[in-house]
Chains A and B, each alone.
Chain A
Amino acid sequence: MKINATHLAAGIITILLILALCAGCTSPAPGGNETPAGTATTAPAGGGNVLRIATTTSLENTGLLAELERVYEEETGMDLQFIAQGTGQSIDSGRRGDVDLVLVHAPDLEQQFIDDGFGINPRCIAYNYYIIVGPESDPAGIANMTPVEAFRTIYAAGTNETAGVAFVSRGDNSGTHTQEQVLWEQAGYDYDTEILDAGAWYVEAGKGMGDTLILANEQQAYTLSDEGTYLSFADRLDLAPVVAEGAELLNRYSAIAVNPAQHPGVNAEGAADFINWLTTNETKQMIGEFGAEEFGKPLFTPLYAPECTEPPFNCTCTGEVAG
């Protein structure tokens, strides 16, 4: 019995080790280890045929990125690696040079990223609108208001402890969260002092867009969402778009390469190629059609020149960039 168990144990361990080795052979990017006893010394990712893109959860959750990845990898053989983090963290990853490109939606943060010398070759790609979603019964009565009025009304109802009124915030420094803060400021409140501790009606999720919608749905609360994620989740939610009109709700997505002068290790050539591909008419057409069949309406509207250079967009959406 003792011998058998020993053999069994030895056999299991051997199988496990062989499995590990096999996985090592076939794994796309086998890494080594910090220790001197490290395994594979294959060139770590970040080299010529891997492009790392920090991006927002709202893009990832819609499924658009998976579609872009499939088409681009088929056409070029480049390995696209999307890391969904929220815009604030994505731009920070770009600043540190941990990624080659960022795909984000917070114009102010983007401008700062470029002004500080970390981001180059910005190109706006597409847009849609943020919407304020909430329970069908609309307990705060904000339907047909402007976004700013709606925020004021939610604030008043929330602080009066009106039954059933709650607002779920992303609370994660993402593009959507940044937009929400802008709306609170426009409504005349100081975000840090008046909103953050405004009471139990203001809920900070600290999660991605999909999670936040699910949380808002469970609590039957209001939340600010981008249109794309909301539409792709709509069939699983008992939430309706309550306020969907207003220039303040514009949501513009841009691609920005990380400056190789700041971080020589980044794949600048790959980033430039990908930006050029994103700005081709074929790609924009594909983005403009994405989701139309599945969700009844496209999730994004691509930006073309000269429309993109005019208000409210004020951005560059064409022009070859060089690595």
Chain B
Amino acid sequence: MNGNPIIEGFVEAIELIITLDPQVVEITIRSLYVSLTATFFAALIALPLGALIYFYEFRGKHAVVSTLQTLYALPTVIVGLIVFLLLSNVGPFGFLRFLYTPGGMIAAQTVLIIPLLMGLTVSALSGIDRDKRYTITALGASRLQTVMTIIAEARFAVMSGVLLGFGRAIAEVGTVMIVGGNIRGATRVLTTAIALNTSMANYSLSIALGIILLAVALGVNIALSLVQRR
């Protein structure tokens, strides 16, 4: 054991970041690509569904919303396991050959954050003042106009939900490790690279990637507060 791995790690980490180490850059870009794409597809699916749940009254609506809220905490390894079994060569979607590809990781993260985005969309729409809703109707708006106005009013809260979903996606390690396989140059992302390099005792690279991951989280937070400040 020589020196303090934490201090040495930090010094090397800063070097790796400043010199734009190609490996670090590649892993960071892949992480952003996978999680942004997953967030995009999840939003595409979850926002309309969330709006439908909010605007339509149906039996069991409370149960649906409670279920969604429970699934906020959906364990990443369970999603990983299920998507892995679905995408495996002997599974129902094996013919896609998606296992161990970025596509498979995107699919897994999409599944992971859909409940979060749906639930937060419902809450965002519910957050619009009831009085406002009556006022809009009272002013003679058609049903469609009412819906559009409420959605427009809630857009910032919905956007916060989407950013939260992105934060969950980029920070998780369970699904991408199982479904992606952590292949160097193909499916290795920030979180799995940190796990691997820690297990190989390459603490400096782990710390560098950790700093980048935190920076991304910080960026998301700044965006979030900008959105919420309106």
Residues of A within 8 A of B (CB): 1-2, 5-6, 8-9, 12-13, 16-17, 19-20, 23-24, 26-35, 37, 39-40, 44-46, 52, 57, 61, 66, 69, 79, 81-85, 96-99, 207-208, 210-211, 214, 233, 235-238, 263, 265
Contact of B226 among A9, A30, A44, A66 (CB under 8 A): A9
A24 to B38, CA, bound (A): 12
Which chain A positions have C-beta within 8 A of B185? 28, 79, 81
Q: Report the separation of the CA atoms of residues A8 and B229 in the bound assembly, to the nearest whole angstrom.
A: 11
Segment 15-40 of B: residues with Cβ below 8 Å from A: 29-30, 32-33, 36-37, 40
**CB contact under 8 A between A83 and B181, given known A9-B227, A35-B41, A210-B201:** yes
> When A19-B36, A69-B184, A83-B182 are in contact, do A207 and B103 touch as well, CB less than 8 Å?
no
Supplied contacts A33-B41, A44-B101, A207-B199, 4 more A-B pairs, CB within 8 Å: A5-B227, A35-B110, A81-B185, A83-B183
- Whether the pair B41, A24 counts as a contact (CB closer than 8 A) is no
B52-60, B91-99, B131-139, B207-215: which lies at the A interface? B91-99
User: For B227, what are the chain A residues with a Cβ–Cβ distance below 8 Å?
Assistant: 5, 9
CB atoms of B36 and A81 under 8 A apart: no
Do B1 and A19 touch across chains, with their CB atoms under 8 A apart? no
What distance in Å separates the Cβ of A113 from its nearest Cβ neighbour in chain B? 16
When distances are taken between beta carbons in the complex, the residues of chain B under 8 Å from A265 are 89, 95, 97
B residues whose Cβ falls under 8 Å from a Cβ of A: 1-2, 29-30, 32-33, 36-37, 40-41, 44-45, 88-90, 93-107, 110, 156, 159, 181-187, 196, 199-201, 223, 226-227, 229-230
A-chain residues with CB within 8 Å of residue B97 when the two chains form the complex? 44-46, 265
What residues of B have a CB within 8 angstroms of the CB of A214 in the complex? 199, 201
Query: Is there contact, CB below 8 Å, between A33 and B100?
Result: no
Question: What is the bound-complex CA distance between A66 and B198, given in angstroms?
Answer: 17
Contacts of A235 in B (CB 8 A): 2
Q: Known A20-B36, A44-B97, A61-B199; judge A33-B88 contact (CB<8 A).
A: no
**Across-interface contacts of A85 in B (CB, < 8 A):** 181
Interface CB pairs A-B, < 8 A, 13? A5-B230, A20-B36, A29-B101, A30-B102, A31-B106, A33-B106, A33-B110, A34-B98, A46-B97, A57-B199, A97-B89, A210-B201, A236-B1
A229 CB to closest chain B CB (Å) equals 9
Check if A28 sits within 8 Å of B33, measured CB to CB: no
Q: Which of A1, A2, A79, A96 has the most C-beta atoms of chain B within 10 angstroms of its own C-beta?
A: A96
Q: Which residues of the partner chain A approach B36 to less than 8 Å between Cβ atoms?
A: 16-17, 19-20, 23
A31 in complex: contacting residue of B101, B156, B196, CB < 8 Å: B101
Residues of chain A with a CB closer than 8 A to B89's CB: 96-98, 263, 265
| Most A Cβ at <10 Å: residue of B44, B45, B185, B223 | B185
> Does B107 lie within 8 Å of A34, measured CB to CB?
yes
Residue of A nearest to B110 (CB): A33
Residues of A within 8 A of B110 (CB): 33-35
Q: How far is the CA of A2 from the CA of B199 in the complex (A)?
A: 48
- Provide the residues of chain A in CB contact with B1, threshold 8 Å: 236-238
Across the A-B interface, the 5 shortest Cβ-Cβ residue pairs: A31-B103, A23-B33, A83-B181, A97-B89, A20-B36
Q: Which of A13, A84, A97, A237 contacts B182 (CB 8 A)?
A: A84
Cα A33 to Cα B2 in complex, Å, equals 47
**A2 CB to closest chain B CB, in angstroms?**
6
| Residues of chain A with a CB closer than 8 A to B187's CB | 81
Which of A45, A52, A211 has the most chain B CB atoms inside 10 A of its CB? A45
CA distance A143 to B105 in the complex (A): 48
A81 contact set on B, CB distance < 8 A: 100, 181, 183-187
With contacts A19-B36, A97-B90 known, is A27 near B183, CB below 8 A?
Answer: no
Contact indicator A208/B199 (Cβ below 8 Å): yes
Please give the distance in Å from A121's CB to the nearest CB on chain B: 20
- Chain A's closest residue to B160 (CB) is A9
- Docked complex Cα distance between A125 and B26 (Å): 32
The answer to whether B186 touches A98 (Cβ under 8 A) is no
Closest residue on chain B to residue A232 by CB atoms: B200
**A288 to chain B: closest CB distance in Å?**
22
B93 to chain A, nearest CB (A): 7
Q: Is the CB of A66 within 8 A of B107?
A: no
Query: Which residues of chain A come closer than 8 Å to B184, judged between CB atoms?
Result: 66, 69, 81-82
CB atoms of B90 and A20 under 8 A apart: no
Q: Within the complex, which residue of A1, A31, A97, A99 is in contact with B98, where a contact is CB–CB below 8 Å?
A: A31
The reply to whether A28 and B186 contact each other, CB–CB distance below 8 Å, is: yes
The CA-CA distance from A211 to B187 in the complex, in Å, is 21
CA distance A8 to B183 in the complex (A): 36
Give CA–CA (A82, B181) in the complex, Å: 8
Contact check: which of A9, A23, A40 meets B159 at CB < 8 Å?
A: A9
A81 vs B180: C-alpha distance when bound (angstroms) = 11
CA distance A33 to B37 in the complex (A): 9
In the complex, how many angstroms separate the beta carbon of A104 from the nearest chain B beta carbon?
16
B-side contacts of A1, CB under 8 Å:
229-230
Q: Are B96 and A2 in contact (CB under 8 A)?
A: no
Taking a contact as CB atoms under 8 Å apart, the answer to whether B226 and A82 are in contact is no
